[in-house]
Structure 1
Amino acid sequence: MGKIITGRDVLRQLEADLIGKDSHRGVTFTYSWLANQLGHFTLGFIPTLLIQALLQKFTNLEAPAIWAALGIAVFWFGFEIYNFLGPLLSKRVSRAKHLFVPSRHKYVFQPDWRNITYDTITDIGFFWLGAYSAYLYETPSSSKVYLLLFLILLLPCRYWYITKMYLQAAQYPFQCRLSQWTFSISEADRQTVLSFLNAKRSHKHLLIFGGRGNGKTSLGVGIATERSIAHETCFYTTGMKLYSMFSERNSRSLHHQRNLWTWRQASVLVIDDINPGGLIDDLITPSQFLRLLDANPNNRKTLAEKDVIWILGQDDQQELINQKWADMLRLIGVDEDDIHSVSLPLKTSPAASQGKM
């Protein structure tokens, strides 16, 4: 079972996000989320003040602050609903990052609409909080409604901040949700991916075979990203990095900051670039991988008792290579029923542009 993020972890992350200069330390997912919501608040607050000033100067409306706040609240509500319902109704990926513009590529894997709905509601809440703050600034009155809205927003704030912590602790090389993956895949393999995605902490192993540019890395990252959003402890690493950590008893992140969990403690492990395959001879064969794994007697049990996504190259003798890796997994203690594989075809479609997460 993977580590659970505690309140102490959250406070430590908040301290890291709020103290120091981002030009020196870099920007984390959690910091970006805080800045994003502050931006939503500001886009509700400042336009309300500006419109209220214009209404007060050029119209005879009573209580212009109320009309300004309501107008901004309705505008941002409509904007967010449009960006949400657009892809839902057309079932297509947007070409744009901020405004839904349908493209010709349909979803291979459906988005998590409940999660997107929650994100939309959170954004709308911060827009409204900003607009209402501007109204109270211009027309001081009872703040009970404001306090209620603020307290309601604390719940999604907690969820999203912790979710971003799960995502950044996984150390993914890029951001990619599974619904953004638009490469070719057979229906049988698509169902295999969905089965692995929904099998939480069940010691399943997924072998992803594919040539260069087939989307195998983005598929593996996309699957694990969905598991991270479900608050599972995931860890991404390349084969070469993992080989160097096999002999360590308590390997830590290669980054300068201490990570929340290691590859040993994660419940889902993504191993990328194990070998290229194809025209290049396999750099690491299953038997060689097993010899490296045995640098620590506990490594076999560690790998067997977690969900692992193995990203491998494509080979002319794919069925034989597939069987060799499956045999190696059985040797380390993985049940036959827990070993699954997908093989991505050579012909691919363009990858989806990566948007907000």
Structure 2
Amino acid sequence: MGKIITGRDVLRQLKADLIGKDSHRGVTFTYSWLANQLGHYTLGFIPTLFLYAILRSCTDLEKPATWAALGIAGLWFGFEIYNFLGPLLSKRVSRAKRLFVPGRSKYVFQPDWLNIAYDTATDVGFFWLGAYSAYLYVTPSACAVYLWLFLLLLVPCRHWYITKMYLQAAQYPFQCRLSQWAFPISEADRQTVLSFLNAKRSHKHLLIFGGRGNGKTSLGIGIATERSIRHDTCFYTTGMKLYSMFPERNSKSLHHNKPLWTWRQASLLVIDDINPGGLIEDLITPVQFLQLLRANPNNLKTLADKDVIWILGQDDQHTVVNQKWADMLHEIGVDKKDIHSVRLPLKA
């Protein structure tokens, strides 16, 4: 599991998100999430006021505020249900030629539908909070329902804000959930990925071999992203950056700001671009990597005691290269049964 984000960490991030100009400091995942939910609230509040004004002036309906709030709440509920089911329907394979578009591809890895449903429910909650706020604005009444809805939303707010902190602390170069990965892979390798993702015990190492453009980096990031969403401490780096950090006793000195955790403290490490593969001769061999690793005696134990995804290039001698890296991992203290590999097929 690694470090757990504390309340002090959350308050520090909130301060960073709320104070200062985004044009100067940039936009974080947490800031984007706050802005997104404020947008949902506003899209519930303002349309309800407009609809109320129309119903009040153009119809003889009793309680136009109630109908306006219910109408906008129902509209956004239907929209979010469509957003939730849309990816599922778009990937479904048609069973009848005249009822659905045939030939849709299946998911290589199934989405975490429970997680997506939770996100959908959170968005709907903010839409409804905005609509009910508009209702109270034009029809002052008891605020008990509003208060309960607001308090209920605090639970998912805490969960999603902290989740975004786990994601941004990992320093991924791009966003990619595992269900978005859509490249060829054998069934045996697919099961290896799922086994690594869902393993309860730690200290597992996954070697991902593949050529350029066949999705090895996005696969590694996709796996790690799912772990980040589960509130595991993950960290992404490239081979070259990691080599420069090996001699450091404390990698915090390499950062201008204070990270929540470094590569040494993370429970899952993703090491990308170790070798290009293909026609380019390996820039670093397992023996050379081990020599760099020994620049600091703590490095061996650090890598052996965490989950690591190794992203390597493709090579003509698949079995030989795989075994050399596996032997190197075993030499630093990784049990052989905890070393797994995935070999992605070359693009046609």
TM-score bracket for this pair, using the shorter chain length: over 0.9
Counterpart contact for 1:220–1:270, Cα < 8 Å: yes
Counterpart contact for 2:90–2:104, Cα < 8 Å: no
Q: 1:54 is matched with which residue? A: 54
Counterpart contact for 1:245–1:251, Cα < 8 Å: yes
Q: 1:129 is matched with which residue? A: 129
Superposed CA offset, 1:316-356 (max 9, x none): 111100000000000000001000000000127xxxxxxxx
Counterpart contact for 1:129–1:149, Cα < 8 Å: yes
Cα distance in 1 for residues equivalent to 2:10 and 2:37: 17
**2:309 paired with 1:309:** yes
**Contiguous gaps of at least 5 residues in structure 2:** 94-100
Cα distance in 2 for residues equivalent to 1:102 and 1:182: 18
Query: How far apart are 1:257 and its partner, in Å?
Result: 2.3
Q: 1:352 is matched with which residue? A: none
Cα distance in 2 for residues equivalent to 1:143 and 1:102: 50
Q: 1:164 is matched with which residue? A: 164
- Matched residue of 1:298: which SS? helix
State the AA in 2 paired with 1:171: Q
Q: 2:44 is matched with which residue? A: 44
The normalised TM-score by structure 2 is 0.95
Aligned length: 341
- Matched residue of 2:20: which SS? coil
Cα distance in 2 for residues equivalent to 1:68 and 1:146: 16
Aligned positions of 1:81-120 closer than 5 A = 81-89=81-89, 91-92=91-92, 104-120=104-120
Cα distance in 2 for residues equivalent to 1:128 and 1:265: 41
Query: How far apart are 1:254 and its partner, in Å?
Result: 5.2
Query: How far apart are 1:63 and its partner, in Å?
Result: 1.2
Q: Percent identity?
A: 84
- Matched residue of 1:242: which SS? helix
Q: 1:334 to 1:83 in 2, by over 3 A?
A: same
**Contiguous gaps of at least 5 residues in structure 1:** 94-100, 349-357
Q: 2:235 is matched with which residue? A: 235
Counterpart contact for 2:270–2:308, Cα < 8 Å: yes
Counterpart contact for 1:201–1:306, Cα < 8 Å: no
**Shift >6 Å, 4+ stretches:** none
Cα distance in 2 for residues equivalent to 1:103 and 1:39: 37
Q: 2:33 is matched with which residue? A: 33
State the AA in 1 paired with 2:82: Y
Q: 1:15 is matched with which residue? A: 15
State the AA in 2 paired with 1:204: K
Q: 2:97 is matched with which residue? A: none
Q: 2:297 is matched with which residue? A: 297
Please provide the CA RMSD for this pair. Answer: 1.6
Superposed CA offset, 1:243-280 (max 9, x none): 00001111028553211000000000000000101100
Aligned positions of 1:257-268 closer than 5 A = 257-268=257-268
Counterpart contact for 2:213–2:347, Cα < 8 Å: no
